[in-house]
Amino acid sequence: MSEVPNLEERAAALDAVDELGKLREQFVLDDGTVYLDGNSLGALPSSVPGRVADVVEREWGRLRIRSWTESGWWTAPERIGDRIAPIVGAAAGQIVVGDSTSVNVFKALVGAVRLSGGPDAGRDEILVDSSTFPTDGYIAESAARMTGCTLRPTAPADIPGAVGPRTAAVLVNHVDYRTGRLHDLPGITAAVRAAGALAVWDLCHSAGALPVGLDEHGVDLAVGCTYKFLNGGPGSPAYLYVAERHQAVFDSPLPGWNSHAEPFGMRPGYAPADGALRGRVGTPDILSMLALEESLKVWDGVSVAAVREKSLALTDFFLECVAAHVPAGRVASVTPEVHAERGSQVALRCDGAAAVMDELIARGVVGDFRAPDVLRFGFTPLYVGFAEVERAARVLGEVLAR
């Protein structure tokens, strides 16, 4: 325990020079809690309650139907998409917000199979990240069934060797939800494209935590949620990225009236809109969507490179504090040591992890448990500080020393 004062001093010194540290003021947080679950539900940005009240009381309550035009409700999905774009390295006009991640995985994956030519062109196989968050696998199975493809679960690292002339599309997570492993987006994308197939990336655990570089790396399609590192609120709408080069032929399996070229023409025949809004479906859920729009304002002037730098410093420091505070052999990190392979979370395998997490939460350190035996701690660089990291590891050590 001799290292403890040293770690506390180190934490204080790191906080003192943290250029993102002042952003914490823009969130509703209490100093009694170390919130390390922003990778599941981001904290509330302070300006959101006022904005939501205005949407409900004035825009809905007083303007009512007029708000679809006068308050900009109708164009919110593409407008908010353009706010997300710089965070994931996309030029404007390629992202549209709406629906859940699962629904967007379906749109993207079926769209990708069709863009590849699909079974008619001899491409009848979809590869899916074998360690994926489950919903992607379930939806991929449905997409395969409905497009006449077979589904082959493949570890992300094995994808470059597995893609071939029969591959239509590949669905892979940028960061593994359980281990926090960051997969090689540039390399896998290049290999998939070289095989004539399309890659669909799930950015749920990377967007807002590290540079994604969608345009730079030639990604075809991507989806992501907005309630983790983007702090959009519980169940806030997800988004779909369709690279500009694919938009003119992107063929959505959910061609709702919001994606029509002339939605208020009320025409019996479908004609898709141009651009990203071809990925829209039905009427957008305005309350959740405008809460998200307000939340994203926190990002004004924030550098994703600085976020990544702090994220790695936070997870490095957490691993160091865990090594110092936790009795030997009680936990084992399943998160890669190497920076190039690490997202913005640390996952610790631990006997009795579910009960341990309950006790941590009771003591004010909030992470989450993922079956069967993982303690998961997410580090949101916009509002987590180094002293909190030290405290979280110290409390974990206390719980496991009992």
Stretch 256-315 residues interacting with a second copy (CB under 8 A)? 256-258, 260, 264-268, 270, 281-289, 291
- 380 binding a second copy? (CB under 8 A): no
Does 227 help bind a second copy (rule: CB under 8 A)? yes
Q: Are strands 150-154 and 125-129 parallel, antiparallel or unpaired?
A: parallel
Residue 358 touches a second copy, criterion: CB under 8 A: no
Kindly give the pairing relationship between strand 125-129 and strand 365-366: unpaired
The DSSP code sequence of 359-402 is HHHHTTEE-EEETTTEEEEE--TTT--HHHHHHHHHHHHHHHH-
Is 205 annotated in a binding site? The answer is yes
The binder of a second copy chosen from 137, 187, 275, 336 (CB under 8 A): 137
Distance CA 394, CA 376 (A): 16
Question: Does an H or E element contain 97, and which?
Answer: strand 95-97
Residue 231 Cα distances to 63, 117, 235, 292, 369, angstroms: 28, 37, 10, 7, 20
Reading phi first (left if > 0) and then psi (alpha if -120 to 50, else beta), residue 69 is in alpha
How far is 131 from 117, CA to CA, in rounded Å? 27
Q: With respect to a second copy, which residue has the nearer C-beta, 170 or 195?
A: 170
358 is in an annotated binding site: no
Q: Known catalytic residues?
A: 133, 202, 227-228, 376
Site for a second copy in 88-127 (CB under 8 A): 99-103, 106, 110
Q: Total residues at the site for a second copy (CB under 8 A)?
A: 81
Residue 112 beta carbon to a second copy: minimum distance, rounded to whole angstroms: 15
Binding characters for a second copy, 52-91, by CB under 8 A (x = yes): xx--xx-xxxx-xxxxx----x------------------
Report residue 201: phi and psi, to 5°. -105, 135
Q: Does 26 bind a second copy (CB under 8 A)?
A: no
- 202 marked as binding residue: yes
Residue 223 found at the interface with a second copy (CB under 8 A) = no
Sign of CA pseudo-dihedral 352, 357, 363, 367: positive
Numbered residues of the known binding site for pyridoxal 5'-phosphate: 101-102, 133-136, 202, 205, 227, 257, 283
Specify binding-site residues: 101-102, 133-136, 202, 205, 227, 257, 283
